[in-house]
Amino acid sequence: MTMTHSAIWQALQTHRQTLSALHLRDLFAQDPQRFSRYSLQAGPLFLDYSKNLITDETLSLLVSLAQQRGLPKAVEAMFSGEKINRSEQRAVLHTALRNRSTQAVFVDNRDVMPDIRRVLAQMDQFSTAVRSGQWRGYSGKPIEDVVNIGIGGSDLGPAMVCAALAADCDGPRLHFVSNVDGAHLWSVLKNLNPEQTLFIVASKTFTTQETLLNAHSARHWFLQQAREEKFIARHFVALSTNRAGVVAFGIDPANMFEFWDWVGGRYSLWSAIGLPIALAVGMQRFESLLDGAYAMDQHFREAPLHANMPVLLGLLGVWYINFFQAQTQVILPYDQGLHRFVSYIQQLSMESTGKSVTNAGQPVDYATGSIVWGSPGTNGQHAYFQLLHQGTLLIPADFIAPIRPRHPFTAHHPVLLANFLAQTEALMTGKTAAQARAELQQQGHTPERIEALLPHKCFAGNRPSNTLLFDTLDPYTLGALIALYEHKTLVQSLIWDINAFDQWGVELGKQLARGIEKELLEAQWTLPHDASTQGLIQWIRARQS
């Protein structure tokens, strides 16, 4: 029997119909304790999920679905090093990277924790040398700028964290280059001094096309001034598993920071891929980031399903995607430091859950994943909140905010939080016709004008949202927040029986690009194309000649 024909799935569908006549205003009016019953604390994070289209019965049914899908056992399988990435026959152990206990973690009967601790010690030693000025460039000057060259998880994770922890950045200036468009690399390099610039080449295989092209161009730029290839070793380090490729590039293998095939790209910031973070904020703060993630790991692993923050967020996502046909989710961090957070969660969620076959390779007959988008508040209020409030789509929202700022302009923060809270309330309550009419009458409009304006002034409300609060955006809290969304994504993938840890969908375009690149450069056909693509290639070649 497929999941959609199971008794629990059918019960959820029936229950969804019974909720269609209810409004969140009524649910709050009927239950004065709704906030306290539908909120919880996990580590530094406080979640209010009371503004969701749920009742006790909803939660009971969703937890039953999680139990039926074997969620607790599957979660333990991940933490224990089982090869839950079935299509690639790999373990999934980003949690081991931030394991702060003395507990061993085994892959193929081998404890991986000694290797993890070895690389952390290497990162500590190197980042301390660079930050202190002990590590110097070829001309004897200290490093002032670090350029991280990577793409996907090798870029989004460390870039997001460094932006979020800007208040803690007291090391060299960090720059991130990811786009194969040479304009990205040039916009960074044109203002830097090669004598005081360190490059980090982040590629697990050391074969990623975009990263290697950018790295070789950076190498050429560097050698235009440094002249001698022996100086590469003082200005380039690698985050990779490909020792031969790293050595061939000219990087001293002593400055190759290892990670392993059980570290997925979008889960890799906890590994050596986090070296830019350590350089920016120091190893002590990087380890605090790991501590926060570990605290969330422990909560996820140990808390009962009905009081488990990642489980609840994951189940609420399933509720809206599969039973309300919600195709998007908006994430709204009211903290400028989190301006890269949504991009990071986009990759985490959409690359993980953008699958249309089960782990067994069978087509699914239900929706998986949703489009994740958003931006920092209050900017979004002046851009797309109109759609959230009065549009025709149901768009579940996550609102995220610190209680205390980490900047000196403290007078701004009450205004920020007031907007933050007001938006969640407005989405939930809306504005009735009676309220809108009374408001227009108070403003002195004529009866005719009131009737004309009334349809435009009404808000349906009943729009669901989660509210995540924390004291301040420090490394520990950020670690917990990232891990929360990682585990939420895992929960959804386990319910849907899809592999959250492969990404075959990005490969086809890469394969075709290699052939098209040759056709553009050599003016000869190497692949059969559809008429549109062939016409476009010819059109471009004609104008480049």
How many helices and strands, by DSSP H and E, does the chain display?
A: 24, 13
* Residue tagged 């790293």 (tokens): 246
Q: Is 351 a catalytic residue?
A: yes
Looking at the DSSP bridge assignments, the partners of residue 45 are 42
The 10s digit of each residue's pLDDT in 28-41 is: 999 999 999 999 99
The whole-angstrom separation of Cα 211 and Cα 148 is 10
The whole-angstrom separation of Cα 321 and Cα 306 is 20
Q: Which of the following is catalytic: 5, 190, 220, 382? A: 382
The whole-angstrom separation of Cα 467 and Cα 34 is 14
Average pLDDT of the chain, as a whole number: 96
* Residue tagged 């999920």 (tokens): 49
The pLDDT of residue 440:
96
Strand positions, DSSP E, 289-417: 328-333, 371-373, 397-402
CA distances from 143 to 132, 136, 178, 214 (A): 9, 6, 21, 20
Q: Which of the following is catalytic: 195, 210, 287, 351? A: 351
Give the pLDDT mean for 310-315.
Answer: 98
CA distances from 101 to 83, 117, 120, 291 (A): 22, 11, 14, 10
Give the pLDDT mean for 143-156.
Answer: 97
Higher per-residue confidence, 506 vs 71: 71
DSSP 245-313: HHHHHT--GGGEEP--TTS-GGG-TTTGGGHHHHHHH-HHHHHHHHHHHHHHHHHHHHS-GGG-HHHHH
Peptide bond into 378 cis (omega under 30): yes
The 10s digit of each residue's pLDDT in 265-285 is: 999 999 999 999 999 999 999
Q: Is 15 a catalytic residue?
A: no
User: Does residue 209 carry a pLDDT above 70?
Assistant: yes
Q: Are 516 and 537 in contact (CB under 8 A)?
A: yes
pLDDT > 70 fraction of the chain, expressed in percent and rounded: 100
| Beta carbons within 8 Å of 32's beta carbon, 6+ residues apart | none
Q: What is the pTM of this model?
A: 0.96
Looking at the DSSP bridge assignments, the partners of residue 150 are none
Q: Are 316 and 324 in contact (CB under 8 A)?
A: no
Q: Is 522 a catalytic residue?
A: no
Query: 10 Å Cβ neighbour count for 253?
Result: 11
Q: Which of the following is catalytic: 407, 451, 510, 517? A: 510
The pLDDT of residue 113:
97
User: Does residue 1 carry a pLDDT above 70?
Assistant: no
The pLDDT of residue 395:
98
